[in-house]
Structure 1
Amino acid sequence: MATTNDIKNGSILRLDGGVLWNVIEFQHVKPGKGGAFVRTKLKNVLTGKIVDKTFNAGTKVEFANVDRSDMEYLYHDGESFIFMDNQTFDQIPVPEAIVGDAKGFLLENTKVTVATHDGNPLYIEMPAAVELEITQTDPGVQGDRSTGGTKPATVQTGATIQVPLFVTTGERVKVDTRTGDYLGRVN
């Protein structure tokens, strides 16, 4: 069993009777008076809830064994998203609830990282940005563009993002997968 001194960003802890928590941030604090402690920001792997938790330095914590595999998205079968391991060619179904908002940016053959624990998928890590084609957007309105206005646009996966007024249907754009923000046009 490890201690709080071994905590790093990205570690998966098993706390509160087996619940898995991902360490987003941690900070070792040594105040001038009293004992040292570790302040953490934890994200529940299953629900996505984020909490702050403080541990006394040296407290024993249990780390969970999480396997991260590079996989390729193949298709959606109506209930699950099917991913293929690039090394073993095994295909695993990942429920829609685990994929979450990333489904709006998943194209076939997209390379992602799938984290599993005891064979069960926990979450997927998308690339930071993806290139998508605009399938529908209204034409930009001539006039005052000094405000840097935006308009809604639908991309080929069906997701709706906000794009600048000059973007037209058929163009390829780069989209941030974490926030859904427009990053720029792709030539």
Structure 2
Amino acid sequence: MASTADIRNGVVLKIDGQLWTVIDFQHVKPGKGGAFVRTKMKNVVSGKTVDKTYNAGTKIEIENVDRRDFTYLYQDGDSFVFMDTADYDQINVSSTVVGDAANFMLENQSVTIALNNGNPLYVELPASVVLEVTYTEPGLQGDRSSAGTKAATVETGYEIQVPLFLETGTKVKVDTRTGDYLGRVND
């Protein structure tokens, strides 16, 4: 068992059977009373963020989370198949664990998967990906400003908002955290 002195940013704690990543922590020694540790944590599965305070010296349970590089191969029914780039082992990850990352994944794309005791916790994509627009309404003549947006479907089937001047077949950079259009990509 570890104590609150072992809390650092990025450490994963097991609290009430759930895994929480420490986003921020602060050791506080007030002039009156005992020292304590103030933490801001994010639930590994749900993404919920909470603030939690521990008295100094409190015993905590630190979990081992292994983050490894994988290559996305294909979707098999309700699961996604990934290959470990180090030993070429393949793992199946359920669609609930992959979550919104499925909207931005193309075959042979590199991703990072966090594993705890061999169980995948979440899939982490690069901050942005390049995707091709497969369908969008044609822009009107004169719509060359950045004022308006329209819906566009990218090659993964996900729909994003793009400027009016973009056409089908254009490659765009998309933020994987928010799904926002970041810019056009010239080959």
In the superposition, the TM-score normalised over structure 2's length comes to 0.91
Aligned to 2:13: 13
Over aligned residue pairs, what C-alpha RMSD do you find? 1.7
- Percent identity reads 68
Contact 2:11 2:21 in 1 (8 A): yes
Q: Residues 58-73 of structure 1: matches in 2 within 5 Å?
A: 58-73=57-72
2-side partners of 1:148 and 1:37: how far apart?
A: 50
* Correspondence 1:27-46 to 2 at 5 A: 27-46=26-45
Instruction: Pick closer, same or farther for the CA change 1:147–1:58 going to 2, 3 Å.
Output: same
Unaligned runs of 5+ in 2: none
Q: Which amino acid aligns with 1:158?
A: G
Look up the SS of the partner of 1:174 in the other structure. Answer: strand
CA distance in 2, matches of 1:148, 1:27: 43
Cross-structure match for 1:2: 2
Unaligned runs of 5+ in 1: none
Aligned to 1:150: 149
Superposed CA offset, 1:118-137 (max 9, x none): 11111111111100000011
Partner residue, 2:55:
56
Distance 2:152 2:175 in 1: 15
Distance across 2 between alignment mates of 1:28 and 1:164: 47
Question: Normalising by structure 1, what TM-score?
Answer: 0.91
In structure 2, do the counterparts of structure 1 residues 102 and 37 end up closer, same or farther at CA, with 3 Å as the change threshold? Answer: same
Contact 2:129 2:174 (C-alpha < 8 Å) held by counterparts: yes
* Number of residue pairs matched by the alignment: 186
Answer whether contact 2:24 2:39 (CA < 8 A) is retained.
yes
Q: Structure 1 residues 142 and 4, CA, compared in 2 at 3 Å: closer, same or farther?
A: farther
Deviation at 1:142, TM superposition (A): 4.3
Q: Distance in 2 between matches of 1:24 and 1:151?
A: 36
Distance in 1, Cα, partners of 2:70 & 2:146: 42
Question: Shift in Å at residue 36 of structure 1?
Answer: 2.7
Deviates more, 1:74-83 or 1:40-49: 40-49
Q: Which moved more, 1:77-86 or 1:3-12?
A: 3-12
